């Protein structure tokens, strides 16, 4: 990463002298950081741009302030005192999806909420990452058999990290976030999955019994999500 | 319509007088009486006489609290049950049973009598499929408007596809949302919004800065709790679900609601020692829940993510720690069993007592700090005193309970008025405030924390002294419980947010035939319109925060 090659091929003594002269007596070398020292006298770090960007992304993640169900209480505990997710460079909850790059999905997703969650996810700028928190986001959890429950967040949006538990302890969530950082820093991304539930315009839906029944209630260009419960896991 | 149900065993609690009185008041309206385990009287009336009956009961006999409306489908009919109580004495209960025909389930709406019936009947229509005549707003409430079928009805096919639109997600600046004439604007708050405490959607109409109309749109967390409970066996499979209704660490309070109803249904005794443990752990939960209410309310009003919010979470961590020692879990305790609790206090007991006592000792100083930071703060007072007014009569009509009702001067607390557990042996007070505003609601919660601390302290004293050979934590309960078919009960406890009631009807199997949850937040949230219409929009946010709703419980 570092390079010992001096900039102009000569010694840097002169530069150092000038700087010392400017700083005056009695001042410490606080402007000369340890990092700089470690790199030698050159102000350059040679690295791959991608690698650098990945490191930056992983080290400064803006989370979306997004609470759904019981898991969100443990998520708040993870942000708050004692567990303090901030320590890991991942702690500022952003109220607007347009300013966030990580969304923690903390809870059960039901039919009415899935289109809204999809919309929130779509509003986040790329690159974006998803942490699924709790059994509900994996499979529907304790409510898996419910008539109204989506069987996991992955039916709607891609998920990078799953944190199991009901609810996962804050430590588990911290571990999940750390894992995500590691993955991001290594430039790994989650495989593209085919998501069964998509938002589409009502007019584009294949006509069948339900669609026909609702035809006079819903506008052609209204966005809608269709749930084929029978095919759900 | 067939109501061939002139049954069964004789009255248990000898409520004959009450029943006679009710029958006398109602005259010919009553068709029949029925057997309900708890209600002193239970009358069957024709679907077109609901309003007359309820008016008579309310105005002549003082049944001023419509606690819950349960709807269910039988083989041969539909049925709505109106569970009524008195705010002065909730042990006085009457159930009004309204059968409706199978082919055309129409029943008169009770909304003109009790405004709370509005939402309850919408829910009954949504999930079971009974139509209410005269209802001001007969829409679905929990499920999306485009839903097909009624999931708790008999012939619902869970595998049939459904379509849900994003249309309700309206753009407030769209042409048809700005009314140039009236100068109003439509505004969506939520379902993803930091001030809604979860996934609530408030459709608001603004006239300048003033709120002209609010319509809370719920159902974004409707996780089919009732269906889940109807699929679980009484003994073990239902208990985990209550933890997830009011999930802000108030789990044990909710578990108690189920335990109380089921123990009543199956006639199970609970050993005294277990009752003391139950009381103690429930009150710990109450403190945790009120702390969260406090922290998030400060967040709503000050936007203060740093001090107060973090302090309240610091204190919650301590409680969660204690509860984890006791139950093994931080939030989803699953600690109660029918007939007792799962296990005894952790060994070494002294350590547990010490830890809890330490917490209690530090509590007064902490509360003082909160008072300095919150209630003593000028900005806070400006925002909260005299905003979000909820008059007691209005609160009653909406079936408000818990701190919301007590802050409007309604002296109603089931722990004292309909005692269960060990509460009636202990020395504590019910807190009420007369301010009826946002400020009073905060004050009530903060003082309730002190009362809970008193209760816990007394419980610990008792537990410390308890003779070692008398520490039974569970009574003998049959492995499979099969209460007799068609026994019904409606029982409520004082949960963190108010009266949490459970209606169970058994169908002779080891699973309930109908399991209905009366959630305090559901009723409390209905008052939002009364509190905020005509006020400024920041007051709406403050009022919403002061209601302290949990969407898991509103939507169930
Ligand atoms: S995983 Fe458990 S704790 Fe988390 S949202 Fe689902 S039910 Fe609640």
- The interface predicted TM-score of the complex, written ipTM, equals 0.84
B chain contacts of residue A115, beta-carbon cutoff 8 Å = 164-166, 169
Looking at ligand 1, which atom is closest to the CA of residue A167? 3
Assess A74–B contact: CB distance below 8 Å, yes or no. Answer: yes
Task: Decide: A176 and A168 in contact? Cβ < 8 Å.
Answer: yes
Residues 128-167 of A with CB under 8 A from B: 142-143, 145-149, 166-167
Q: Which pLDDT score is estimated for B37?
A: 59
Mean pLDDT to the nearest integer, B401-411: 90
- Find, in chain B, the residue whose alpha carbon is nearest to that of A74: B331
Write out pLDDT tens, residues B89-136: 888 888 888 888 888 888 888 888 888 888 999 999 988 888 888 888
Domains, chain B: 2-133 (3.30.460.80), 225-555 (1.10.645.10)
Q: Which has the minimum average pLDDT: B5-14, B169-178, B280-289, B505-514?
A: B5-14
Count CB-CB contacts under 10 A for residue B108. 24
Task: Tell me how far apart the alpha carbons of residues B383 and B373 are, in angstroms, rounded to a whole number.
Answer: 14
B165:A223 CB<8 A: yes
CA distance A179 to chain B (A): 23
pTM of the model: 0.84
Provide the pLDDT for residue A175. Answer: 92
Residue of B198, B222, B244 to mutate, ligand 1, most atoms within 8 A of C-beta: B244
pLDDT in tens, A146-177: 888 988 888 888 888 899 998 899 999 999 99
- Asked if B150 has any chain A CB less than 8 Å from its own CB, the reply is no
Query: Atom 5, ligand 1: which residue's CA is nearest?
Result: A107
Q: Is pLDDT at B218 greater than 70 in this prediction?
A: yes
Peptide bond into B502 cis (omega under 30): no
pLDDT at A196: 76
**Which of B159, B240, B552 lies at the smallest CB-CB distance from A69?**
B552
For the residues B447-455, what does the mean pLDDT come to?
Answer: 91
Ligand 1 center to A169 CA (angstroms): 11
What's the gap between Cα B119 and its chain centre? 14
Q: Kindly write down the DSSP assignment for every residue of B285-321, as one continuous string.
A: HHHHHHHHHHHHHHHHHH--TTHHHHHHHHHHHHHHH
| pLDDT tier, B7 (very low <50, low <70, confident <90, very high otherwise) | very low
CA distance B200 to B296: 15
Least confident stretch, A26-35, B153-162, B322-331? A26-35
State the average pLDDT for chain B: 84
Domains and CATH numbers, chain A: 2-46 (no CATH), 57-185 (3.40.50.12280), 199-231 (no CATH)
**Spatial contact of B455 and B428, defined as CB atoms under 8 Å apart:** yes
What does each of the 233 residues of chain A score in pLDDT, given as a tens digit? 444 444 454 566 766 676 666 666 655 555 566 666 666 656 666 778 888 888 888 888 888 888 888 898 888 888 888 888 888 878 768 888 888 888 999 989 998 888 888 888 888 887 888 999 999 998 888 898 888 898 888 888 888 889 999 889 999 999 999 888 888 888 777 666 657 788 888 878 887 877 877 877 777 778 888 888 877 76
What is the b/e burial string over B480-491, where b = at least 16 CB atoms within 10 angstroms of the residue's CB? ebebeebbbbbb
Query: What is the distance in A from the centroid of ligand 1 to the CA of A70?
Result: 5
Angle, alpha carbons A14-A17-A20 (nearest 5°): 155
Spatial separation of the C-alpha atoms in residues B295 and B249, rounded to whole Å: 14
Listed by number, the residues of chain B in 219-258 with a beta carbon closer than 8 Å to a beta carbon of chain A are 219-225, 227-228, 231, 240-241, 243-244, 247-249
A108 vs B contacts (CB less than 8 Å): 221, 223
**Using an 8 Å Cβ cutoff, are A183 and B127 in contact?**
no
Mean pLDDT of B516-523: 91
- At B532, is the pLDDT very low, low, confident or very high (cuts 50, 70, 90)? confident
| Percent of chain B at pLDDT exceeding 90 | 14
At B40, is the pLDDT very low, low, confident or very high (cuts 50, 70, 90)? low
Of ligand 1's listed atoms, the one at least distance from the Cα of B552 is: 8
Name all residues whose Cβ lies below 6 A of ligand 1: A 69-71, 107-108, 134-136, 141-142, 166-167; B 244, 332
Q: Are B82 and B96 in contact (CB under 8 A)?
A: yes
Print burial letters for A145-161: b (CB count within 10 Å at least 16), e (below 16): ebbbbbbbbbbbbbbbb
**What number is the average pLDDT over the span B188-198?**
77
Contact A147 B151 (CB under 8 A): yes
Q: What is the pLDDT of residue B10?
A: 34
From chain A, the residues in CB contact with B158 under 8 A are 147, 229
Higher pLDDT, residue A24 or B264:
B264
Mark yes or no for CB contact B313/A95 under 8 Å: no
CB contact under 8 A, A143 and B223: yes
Q: Which of B364, B276, B370, B284 is nearest to B330 (CA)?
A: B284
A199/B314 Cβ within 8 A: no
Q: What integer pLDDT is reported at residue A32 of this predicted model?
A: 60
Burial of A196 (0-12, 13-18, 19+ CB in 10 A): middle
Chain A residue with CA closest to B239: the answer is A142
Q: Mean pLDDT throughout B522-531?
A: 89
| β-pair partners for B206 | B185, B211
To test the pocket of ligand 1, the residue of A76, A77, A135 to mutate (highest count of ligand atoms within 8 Å of its CB) is A135
pLDDT in tens, B220-235: 889 988 988 888 888 8
Residues 154-213 of chain B whose Cβ lies under 8 A from any Cβ of chain A: 156, 158-167, 169, 191-194, 197-199
**Residue from B162, B191, B304, B548 to probe the interface with A (highest A Cβ count within 10 Å):** B162
The mean pLDDT value for B472-481 works out to 85
pLDDT of B4 above 60 = no
């Amino acid at each position: 990463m570092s390079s010992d090659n001096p900039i102009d091929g000569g010694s840097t003594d002169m530069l150092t002298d000038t700087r010392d002269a400017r700083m005056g007596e009695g001042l410490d070398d606080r402007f000369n950081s340890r990092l700089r020292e470690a790199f030698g006298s050159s102000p350059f770090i040679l690295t791959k741009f991608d690698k650098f960007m990945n490191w930056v992304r992983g080290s400064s993640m803006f989370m979306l302030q997004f609470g759904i169900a019981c898991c969100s209480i443990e998520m708040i505990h993870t942000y708050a005192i004692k567990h303090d997710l901030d320590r890991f460079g991942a702690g500022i909850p952003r109220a607007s999806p347009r300013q966030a790059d990580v969304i923690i999905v903390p809870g059960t997703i039901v039919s009415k909420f899935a289109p809204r969650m999809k919309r929130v996810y779509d509003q986040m700028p790329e690159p974006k990452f998803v942490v699924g928190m709790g059994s509900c986001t994996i499979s529907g959890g304790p409510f898996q058999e419910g008539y109204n429950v989506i069987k996991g967040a992955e039916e709607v949006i891609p998920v990078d990290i799953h944190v199991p538990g009901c609810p996962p302890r804050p430590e588990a969530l911290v571990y999940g976030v750390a894992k995500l950082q590691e993955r991001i820093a290594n430039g790994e991304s989650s495989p593209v999955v085919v998501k069964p539930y998509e938002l589409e315009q009502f007019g584009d839906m294949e006509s069948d019994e339900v669609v026909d029944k609702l035809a006079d209630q819903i506008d052609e260009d209204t966005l809608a999500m269709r749930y084929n419960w029978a095919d759900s896991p | 319509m067939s109501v061939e149900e002139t049954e069964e065993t004789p009255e248990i609690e000898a409520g004959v007088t009450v029943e006679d009185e009710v029958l006398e008041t109602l005259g010919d309206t009553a068709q029949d009486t029925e057997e309900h385990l708890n209600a002193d009287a239970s009358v069957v009336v024709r679907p077109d006489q609901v309003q007359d009956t309820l008016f008579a009961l309310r105005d002549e006999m003082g049944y001023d609290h419509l606690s819950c409306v349960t709807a269910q489908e039988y083989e041969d009919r539909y049925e709505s049950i109106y569970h009524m109580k008195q705010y002065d004495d909730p042990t006085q209960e009457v159930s009004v049973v309204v059968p409706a025909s199978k082919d055309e389930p129409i029943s008169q709406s009770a909304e003109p009598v009790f405004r709370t019936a509005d939402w309850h009947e919408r829910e009954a229509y949504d999930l079971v499929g009974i139509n209410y005549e005269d209802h001001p707003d007969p829409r679905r409430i929990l499920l999306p408007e485009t839903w097909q079928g009624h999931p708790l009805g008999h012939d619902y096919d869970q595998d049939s596809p459904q379509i849900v639109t994003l249309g309700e997600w309206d753009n407030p600046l769209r042409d048809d949302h700005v009314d140039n004439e009236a100068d109003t604007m439509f505004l969506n708050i939520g379902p993803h919004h930091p001030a809604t405490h979860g996934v609530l959607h408030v459709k608001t109409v603004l006239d300048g800065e003033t709120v002209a109309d609010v319509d809370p749109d719920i159902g974004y967390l409707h996780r089919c709790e009732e269906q889940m409970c109807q699929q679980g066996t009484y003994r073990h499979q239902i208990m985990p679900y209550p933890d997830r209704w009011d999930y802000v660490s108030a789990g044990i309070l909710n578990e108690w609601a189920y335990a109380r109803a089921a123990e009543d249904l199956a006639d199970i005794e609970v050993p005294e020692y277990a009752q003391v443990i139950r009381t103690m752990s429930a009150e710990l939960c109450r403190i945790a829940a009120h702390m969260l209410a406090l922290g998030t309310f400060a967040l709503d009003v000050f936007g203060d993510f740093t001090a107060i919010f973090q302090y309240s979470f610091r204190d919650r961590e301590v409680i969660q720690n204690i509860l984890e020692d006791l139950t093994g879990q931080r939030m989803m305790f699953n600690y109660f069993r029918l007939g007792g609790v799962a296990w005894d206090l952790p060994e070494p007991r002294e350590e547990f007592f010490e830890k809890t006592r330490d917490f209690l000792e530090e509590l007064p100083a902490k509360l003082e700090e909160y008072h300095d930071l919150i209630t003593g703060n000028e900005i806070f007072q400006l925002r909260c005193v005299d905003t979000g007014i909820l008059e007691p009569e209005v609160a009653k009509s909406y079936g408000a309970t818990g701190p919301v009702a007590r802050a409007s001067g309604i002296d109603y607390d089931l722990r004292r008025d309909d005692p269960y557990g060990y509460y009636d042996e202990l020395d504590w007070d019910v807190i009420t405030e007369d301010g009826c505003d946002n400020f009073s609601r905060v004050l009530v919660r903060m003082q309730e924390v002190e009362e809970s601390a008193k209760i816990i302290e007394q419980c610990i004293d008792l537990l410390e002294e308890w003779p070692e050979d008398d520490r039974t934590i569970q009574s003998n309960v049959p492995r499979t419980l099969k209460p007799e078919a068609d026994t019904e009960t409606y029982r409520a406890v004082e949960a963190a947010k108010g009266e949490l009631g459970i209606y169970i009807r058994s169908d002779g199997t080891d699973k309930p035939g109908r399991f209905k949850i009366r959630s305090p937040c559901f009723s409390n949230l209905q008052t939002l319109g009364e509190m905020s219409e005509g006020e400024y929009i920041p007051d709406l946010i403050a009022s919403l925060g002061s209601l302290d709703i949990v969407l898991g419980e509103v939507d169930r």
